[in-house]
């Protein structure tokens, strides 16, 4: 859905990055020792500081994008819940039998959306659920048309509420499918590995390797990338979008 990294677990990406960074550091350490001029004649290089600064900037930028997309998905759940709630209220003002039929379809539609957003599903299940939602939206449209032709006095409000339901569905779907661009993620990963290699090279040239510090640095960067990738995967992972607004709306419908 929009990025190659959406197909891999965030833990796998973070683990692969950690191993790649350690391998890059080890290679840089070996290279630095080979390039060492001699004791006391090590030249000072700014490439290490520059690469670390660039990696930090990319990490902050990528994390900011990921958290913004996560917040957008959360807001879309609230907006979706509000639009369905408004439509359900309008349906409750109609005459029978349209009122019961439209309320039933709306309740089933809400339950499907709440269930879909609260668990991890594969692409086939997701597409099947989207087709079911489309069928329900068609049923809503047919029932609204039936109510309007019967002369309901809330025709305008009912039509606007139906438009709100379909519009919020499209907006929420776009937010779910909006992922971090693969090029930005690749740039971050390459920058992290390159920075580790330069750090290892400088440590090798000075013959003062800091294994413990390097491991801590790699773990911290890998964990930050893990959180960023987890935010980029709304259908899996530990950080999910709360479905409480939809669940609360569904409970009010069954009362």
* pLDDT of 240 strictly over 50: yes
Q: Which residues of 244-255 are buried (b: 16+ CB within 10 A; e: fewer)?
A: ebbbebbeebee
Q: What is the rounded CA–CA span in Å between residue 177 and residue 73?
A: 10
Q: Is residue 160's pLDDT more than 90?
A: yes
* 202 — pLDDT class (breaks 50, 70, 90): confident
The per-residue pLDDT for range 93-111, each reduced to its tens digit, is 999 999 999 999 999 999 9
pLDDT range class, residue 170, cuts 50, 70, 90: very high
Q: Residues, the chain, total?
A: 255
Q: What integer best gives the mean pLDDT of the chain?
A: 87
Residue 232 in this model has a pLDDT that exceeds 50: yes
Contacts of 36 (CB under 8 A, 6+ apart): 42, 204, 205, 207
What is the model's pLDDT at position 253? 86
Number of domains in the chain: 1
Domain range for 40 is: 4-253
């Amino acid at each position: 859905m929009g990025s190659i990294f959406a197909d891999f677990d965030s833990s796998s990406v973070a683990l692969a990055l950690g191993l790649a960074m350690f391998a890059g550091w080890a290679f840089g350490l070996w290279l630095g020792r080979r390039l060492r001029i001699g004791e006391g004649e090590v030249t000072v290089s700014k490439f290490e500081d520059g690469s670390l600064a660039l990696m930090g900037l990319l990490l902050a930028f990528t994390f900011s994008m990921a958290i913004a997309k996560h917040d957008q998905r959360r807001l879309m759940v609230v907006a979706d819940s509000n639009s369905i709630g408004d439509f359900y209220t309008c349906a409750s003002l109609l005459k029978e039998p349209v009122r019961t039929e439209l309320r039933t379809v709306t309740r089933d539609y809400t339950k499907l959306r709440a269930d879909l957003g609260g668990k991890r599903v594969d692409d086939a299940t997701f597409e099947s659920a989207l087709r079911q939602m489309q069928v329900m939206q068609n049923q809503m449209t047919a029932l609204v048309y039936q109510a309007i032709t019967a002369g309901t006095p809330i025709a305008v409000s009912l039509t606007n509420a139906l438009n709100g339901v379909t519009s919020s569905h499209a907006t929420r779907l776009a937010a779910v499918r909006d992922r971090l661009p693969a090029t930005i993620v690749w740039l971050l990963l390459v920058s992290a590995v390159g920075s580790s290699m330069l750090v290892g090279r400088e440590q090798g040239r000075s013959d003062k390797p800091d294994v413990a510090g390097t491991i801590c640095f790699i773990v911290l960067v890998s964990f930050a990338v893990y959180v960023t990738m987890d935010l980029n995967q709304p259908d899996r992972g530990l950080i999910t979008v709360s479905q409480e607004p939809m669940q609360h709306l569904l409970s009010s419908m069954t009362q």
